[in-house]
Amino acid sequence: MTATLSVIALVVRLRESSHTAFGDAIYREKVSNENPVFGFKQFSNALHDYNEAFKEGDLVHFGGKFTIDDNKLMVSNFFEAACVLEPQLGRNGERLKWEPEKIPSTKPFVHITTSACEPLSTSNNMNFVKTKSLIYSPFHSAARYINFEIGYSSESKWLEYLSDKWSEFANFFVAGFLEAIYTDGSTTYVQIDAKLIDYDVRFRTSTSSNNYQPSPQRSTTNAFAQRRNKSTPNSPVKTHITPKSDSNTTEIENAYEEESDNDSDKEDTVGTN
């Protein structure tokens, strides 16, 4: 299923092999001013005019397929986009270093194809539905199911028609901002603050019902945070990792580095097809 993402981010860690560049990047959230981190992988044989090579310290507009691994966002620029933004310049034209707290504020905007797996519910004037998508990415050898929690305003007139559609149709197309990643027991969910939602009229579920009604829940001041806290009452919520050290780096699991070296021949073959 489709799962793509775009975001402006600062490359804080970069390693390269003969066929790939991989590492960590951070973006700055506008409200909290925090710098969540995500991992990335770029294939050298997939570079083109809009998928540029970059280096550590560059501010880059990333666009690519994403997945979740061990509660961490991972982005691949396989056949998609990585555009290096113009650097800051000093009075004498010298290149200035980007500071994490001063990079442009942004938030990952995602597009996914997904299927509802739980009934619609409401909380604090927000509608929520849990979904799942089978996603393949270059980070794993096989496709994996990723769980989503889709939230959208119950006051959005253009989305009112969806209330009875989640149980009737199998495939939904969702576009919105990545709000957070949290774990409920052994299950990791990606929260999406949806802005656009559509469905595929060709495929209905086998359990469609015309009497489907959303189930109300108690109100709170922050609907997305309330959902996370309610799911994990006895344990801290796991979300994006924010680098704290001066180096602003977060180590990628050794497995990714080993995979990059061991699978370089396979990546080269895929990238050229």
Query: Does the residue 19 lie in any domain?
Result: no
| pLDDT band at residue 206 under the 50/70/90 scheme | low
CA–CA–CA angle 250, 51, 108 (5° rounding): 50
The residues that bridge with 39 in the sheet, in sequence order, are 24, 74
Tell me the average pLDDT across 28-43: 91
Task: Write the CATH number for 168.
Answer: 2.40.50.140
Tell me the average pLDDT across 65-78: 81
Across 17-26, 83-92, 110-119, least confident range: 83-92
Query: Does the residue 67 lie in any domain?
Result: no
**How many folded domains does the chain comprise?**
1
Query: Does the residue 92 lie in any domain?
Result: no
| pLDDT band at residue 143 under the 50/70/90 scheme | confident
Q: What is the pLDDT of residues 219-262, one digit of tens each?
A: 445 676 777 777 655 444 444 444 444 444 334 344 444 444 55
The DSSP element (H or E) to which 134 belongs, if any, is: strand 126-135
Query: Does the residue 9 lie in any domain?
Result: no
Query: Does the residue 164 lie in any domain?
Result: yes
Tell me the average pLDDT across 107-130: 93
Query: What is the overall mean pLDDT for the chain?
Result: 79
**Mode of pairing for the β-strands spanning 187-199 and 144-153:** parallel
- Helix and strand element counts for the chain (H, E): 3, 14
Query: Does the residue 197 lie in any domain?
Result: yes
